[in-house]
Structure 1
Amino acid sequence: MRDATPGVVAVEEVAGQWLLEALDLPSSSAVGFVTGCTTANLAGLAAARDALLAARGWDVATQGIQGAPRLRALVGAERHGSVDLALRYLGLGAPTPVAADAQGRMDPDALRAALGQDDAPTVVCAQAGNIHSGGFDPFAPICAAAHDAGAWVHVDGAFGLWAAASPALRHLVVGLADADSWATDAHKTLSTPYDSGVAVVRDAGALRRAFGHSADYLLHSQEPDPHELVPEMSRRARGVPVWAALRSLGRSGLVDLVDRLVRSSRGLAMGLAEVPGLTVLNDVVYTQVTVAAVDDETTLAVLARLHEDGLVYPSASRWHDRAVMRFSVSGYATDDVAVAQTIRTVWEAVEAVTLGEG
């Protein structure tokens, strides 16, 4: 609380302002430090829910959501499951998918058509960084179409929101700052410990109205306390590790970190593309590299070999109806040596599987 622990609150607020500056988001936005991107999505979508329903004359805080005007959520066909989970927590049910292209990016024309089918209060959930391709939704036309229809735009940017920190990657996030709320994880790029998500809402009052509360025994300040911007009252000072990481890196260090992760991803993709029998399936625009062997059986066998060895540990997934290996380059220690070692280890695993060794 601000009056009880003013130093810690000041550190969190500085961290929030640094984040807004680094990611080029509106400077007056509210920043809440939460457990992870699922909860950050929940926070942004709670603010959206309450604001959209308030515009229709319905106060969620006093009336709840039973009997409220139906609120719909439009999402890309390849959104992350945490968005669905947050919507479920908020009592909004399953979202309506909008068509996406081969890299998982939402089709703005399909979105505009979907928006025109209904005049219900609507939240549009865009994505910064597809989990398989790393692709970014086209934010400018998405925000324009949504706002023309009176909809709220929320961006799930668990790892991809950090692209906004790099001038070299700004082409990926054109229009990002036009959204109404954003969510990200600090552990995926800043390498803070887990339990380090960030929710950002353009309308600071909307976030406080969604989570603000009072009790006679609590100290109260003129300015909102950090716990009034997030779902929890009892919480550790999650913003302090974020402050420490940003203080250590500085602005130029953050840019260098993001650029190095992307450079490592591209080097990894180039090397894996040379492995006989492997195919890189995505356009490597950010930090995700998704590959597959000639068939699902071989892909899964290579994965098993890698996991047994333990030096390189890609995740198993399915994309475009086939088994894939997904490499997410987000560790600050990843360098050219690590990339070369990964390529070599994967090459050896593929050879062992295809030649029938051990």
Structure 2
Amino acid sequence: MRDRTAGLSAAAQHARDFLDTLDERRVAARVDAAGVREALGGPLPEHGTDPQTVIDALATGAEPGLVATAGPRHFGFVVGGALPAALAADWLVSAWDQNAAFHALSPAAAAIEEITSAWVLDILGLPARASVGFVTGGQGANTTCLAAARHAVLARAGWDVEGDGLIGAPRIRLFCGEQAHATIDTALRQLGLGGNTAVRIAADDQGRMRPEALRDELAGSTGPAIVCAQAGNVATGAFDAFEPIADACAEHGAWLHVDGAFGLWAAATPALRPLTAGVDRADSWAIDAHKWLNVPYDGAMAIVADREAHVGAMSLQGPYLVADAGQRDSTNYVPESSRRARVVPIYAALRSLGRAGVAEMVERNCSQARRMADLLAAIPGARIVNDVVLNQVLVALPGGDDVNRAAVAEVQRDGTCWLGGTTWNDAYVLRVSVSNWATTDEDIDRSAEAIVRAAHAAAGKP
């Protein structure tokens, strides 16, 4: 009998060893890519190696180059960790090896996508009629949603962009806040709309688009229009004012897309839901599950209110592709054909947490961000630059950009926690993002102490 499980026991043991040390391991990697290449590289062997030996060598060689992003004290990016149920479900995904593109290839994947879609729309308060595509991440979600937007606004203008392309098409007017995430620009490039073509709408000191400025810009010209708003600025956590933005879009016939990669999860909690007031009036929404729902990479959702526009932009056809009548062929909602059943960990995360658990996790991380802000504000001369409305904290240390850069480097060298920096209002500041289910208040306190030490070291103080 063919042995399909050789190496699985070794992989499970190495995974347990990693997870057992995750909470206390140094957050930064111990070696760079060169160190990992030295351990794992060299010429491809002429003859094969048994699976257990391969797994042992892989785990041993990669381990020094692993960053504890899944651990409780990684605050450098909004990445989250992996909930136990989601991680276990992800193992099943690999073992089942289902192609989730077509119902014929996996009725299970199609059904789980339908179930999870309904749960997500319900918990976020989005229209139940909306369609959901399960994509790789926030980039894939923004690109898919904006492809649906491109389809819809050009169809209204009498142009078939999928059939006739963009050459000769009516020009699409594009609008986004001046603090829009970089994935919006990339999506516009990938869709042939141009990364530099969007009109940048003035924003306030928290990065919120000014609705009155948007209204003025929309009124200044005519033609197909797409507006990109934001739920959760990647630096400050701030939310655009969706009600007046939706009013302006409705008045001028513009498609409203919301980049809610992590911030849209605020809609899942009664305490934070007011931040998202009016977001349900948008036409499409991008949301990432590996950020705040804490599923393994990769897992995100492109949600579109107009199902026909979604399918019109993404559908796949071929003479050998015969749809099962009345069944979901998931390839019609995403840019990919062959793909893994990435919805399964999302289903497992939602079921393991329940509605109350999702709300508790999001609210706890936000409370921990405020706790971190209070502790870092106690550094003499330090300023918390943003209003801590969500899970993001920006800290400016006294001494200017050089001191702030030195402090970030010292935190990363120390390894107790990991954070990065960003430029905000022309100044370099420390940036803390709290989005991991495993982070405790003790982790916050311990990390704050390390950041304070780094600040003192950067300033040349004992």
* Same fold per superposition (TM over 0.5): yes
The residue identity in structure 1 corresponding to 2:409 is A
The 5-angstrom pairing of residues 323-342 of structure 1 reads 323-342=428-447
1:154 matched to 2:241: no
Runs of at least 5 residues in structure 2 that lack an aligned partner in the other structure: 1-101
CA displacement at 1:341 relative to structure 2: 0.9
CA distance in 1, matches of 2:166, 2:267: 35
The structure, 1 or 2, with the larger RCO (C-alpha pairs under 8 Å, 6+ apart) is 2
**Which residue matches 1:278?**
382
1:40 matched to 2:144: no
**Which residue matches 1:10?**
111
CA displacement at 1:196 relative to structure 2: 1.1
**Which residue matches 1:177?**
280
1:166 matched to 2:278: no
8 Å contact kept, 2:110–2:328: no
CA distance in 2, matches of 1:218, 1:290: 51
The 5-angstrom pairing of residues 280-295 of structure 1 reads 280-294=384-398, 295=400
Q: Look up the SS of the partner of 1:195 in the other structure.
A: coil
CA distance in 2, matches of 1:175, 1:83: 21
Q: Look up the SS of the partner of 2:229 in the other structure.
A: strand
Pick from 266, 274, 289: which aligns with 1:186?
289
**Which residue matches 1:129?**
232
8 Å contact kept, 1:72–1:92: no
8 Å contact kept, 1:134–1:284: yes
The 5-angstrom pairing of residues 241-260 of structure 1 reads 241-260=345-364
Pick from 174, 178, 183: which aligns with 1:77?
178
CA distance in 1, matches of 2:431, 2:268: 24
Closer/same/farther in 2, CA of residues 183 and 259 from structure 1, 3 Å limit: same
The residue identity in structure 2 corresponding to 1:131 is V
8 Å contact kept, 2:404–2:458: no
The residue identity in structure 2 corresponding to 1:277 is G
TM-score by length of 2: 0.76
Greater Cα offset, 7-16 or 216-225: 216-225
Q: Look up the SS of the partner of 2:271 in the other structure.
A: helix
1:299 matched to 2:424: no
TM-score by length of 1: 0.98
CA displacement at 1:293 relative to structure 2: 1.1
1:212 matched to 2:319: no
Q: Look up the SS of the partner of 2:291 in the other structure.
A: coil
**Which residue matches 2:456?**
351
CA displacement at 1:240 relative to structure 2: 0.8
8 Å contact kept, 1:17–1:27: yes
CA distance in 2, matches of 1:98, 1:33: 30
CA distance in 1, matches of 2:199, 2:378: 39
Deviation by residue 1:79-123 (Cα, 9 ceiling, x = unmatched):
101001101110111211000000000000000000001102100
The residue identity in structure 2 corresponding to 1:253 is G
Deviation by residue 1:332-351 (Cα, 9 ceiling, x = unmatched):
11121111111111111112
Pick from 35, 52, 66: which aligns with 2:167?
66
CA displacement at 1:356 relative to structure 2: 4.7
CA distance in 2, matches of 1:241, 1:72: 38
CA displacement at 1:256 relative to structure 2: 0.5
CA distance in 2, matches of 1:306, 1:21: 40
> Percent identity, aligned pairs only?
46
Q: How many residues align?
A: 357
Greater Cα offset, 174-183 or 223-232: 223-232
Pick from 366, 373, 379: which aligns with 1:262?
366
Greater Cα offset, 222-231 or 237-246: 222-231
CA distance in 2, matches of 1:2, 1:310: 46
The residue identity in structure 2 corresponding to 1:349 is A
CA displacement at 1:179 relative to structure 2: 0.3
CA displacement at 1:210 relative to structure 2: 0.5
8 Å contact kept, 1:8–1:240: yes
Q: Look up the SS of the partner of 1:347 in the other structure.
A: helix
CA distance in 2, matches of 1:2, 1:207: 18
The residue identity in structure 2 corresponding to 1:112 is R
CA distance in 2, matches of 1:273, 1:191: 28
**Which residue matches 1:21?**
122
